[in-house]
Structure 1
Amino acid sequence: MMKLVSHLLTILVIVSSIIELNSEEELTETRFGYPPPRHGLALLKWYVKTCIDNNMVALCDPVAGVFGFHVFHNSGPLLPKLKDKHTYAYFTVGNLHYQHAEDLPYEVRKYYDRHNQLSNMDRVIVKLNKNKNKIEEIYISEHYNPPRTFQLGARLIEDLRRTENSKQIIL
């Protein structure tokens, strides 16, 4: 019984400790997705500019598996448990080994080396409202590592969506 309680408390601490990033400066401080051969920063920028609109509607269909999207079962759990699995689901993209990942843009895949784990460790995870085709939350993770998993705040998403006017993240 004590083991179960301890395990449940550990899960609660992990889930409740996801840090929300609200600025490019905070994102830079995490060192997520760089330097090369890491691909997460390029993946994240591509995702927010290409796969969602200003209202967070999904433009790249995660359910269809485009760009290597696939269901993320959150068996760890890494992210908050879904209360309504009929309406919501988590999907992940960024595994360059996965089917259709070759359709990701060159900027995301250019440093990929099947023999170098660093070149395939970054993931973008989204919470999709299947009824509205709307992305409710966006997370970034270094191969599903709880202390290296972050939620993106609305302001950061907006900043990253700006094309030429986006601040350059210092590597």
Structure 2
Amino acid sequence: MVRIQTLHTLLDLQKSGFGRPSPRHGLNLLYWFANRCVEVSYWNLITVLYDPRTRVYGFRLFHNDEELLPVTNQPYYLVGNLNHDEARNLPDYVRREYNRNLNISYTDRIIICVGRFSISVYVTNFNPNQTYQISPQLLRTIRRMEREDFLRETTSVISYILYLLTPSINYQDCILTVN
């Protein structure tokens, strides 16, 4: 049976390491998702604003063949693969550091389980030890924040400074040599 830790606070998210280091896009993807794809009710019920079956923003059916997530009869949908054509509809701040040749720049995904009466939200980089459920409370907290404040709160000072500096870096021009 899969046991997944639930992230309830910004500190939990920061400690998880999800979406870092730069140029990973997970934190920006999560911010976009919380603010544009879901609403959270007073009773902590999550409502999806887009039908993921339409593939808007690159949502795709996720089969969970490797049992990364709990086995269920409800469908899972994944978003965040910047290789898909529909991902071009994601905001620039989610896509800006994407580099097809740099695998770390697009490893993060959001997966939702759409049940009849409930929706579960997960973040992952496809490592079972780094897959987390996002609580409705955390989604609500993210929705109340400006993006820059969210990034500052969920990254270390050094990571945040690097994030602010990296938009001007073209990763295709960077060459890493190992002797």
- Which TM-score applies when normalising by structure 2? 0.77
Q: % of aligned pairs identical?
A: 36
Runs of 4+ in 1 over 4 A off after TM superposition: none
Distance 1:62 1:91 in 2: 7
What stretches of structure 1 of length at least 5 have no aligned partner?
Answer: 1-11
1:137 pairs, out of 96, 120, 143, with 120
Partner of 1:57: 47
Instruction: Report what 1:5 is aligned to.
Output: none
- After the TM superposition, which residues 18-167 of structure 1 pair with which residues of structure 2 at under 5 Å, given as runs? 18-55=4-41, 56-82=46-72, 84=73, 88-129=74-115, 131=116, 136-142=119-125, 144-164=126-146
Task: Tell me the number of residue pairs that the alignment of Structure 1 and Structure 2 aligns.
Answer: 149
TM-score, structure 1 normalization: 0.81
Structure 2 runs not aligned, ≥5 long: 157-179
Instruction: Note the C-alpha offset of 1:34.
Output: 2.1
Cα deviation for residue 79 of structure 1 reads 0.6
Q: Which structure shows the bigger proportion of residues in helix conformation?
A: 2
Q: Structure 2 counterpart of 1:141, which letter?
A: T
Question: What amino acid maps onto 1:169 in structure 2?
Answer: T
Within 2, Cα distance between the matches of 1:102 and 1:163?
Answer: 24
Is the partner of 1:78 in helix, strand or coil? coil
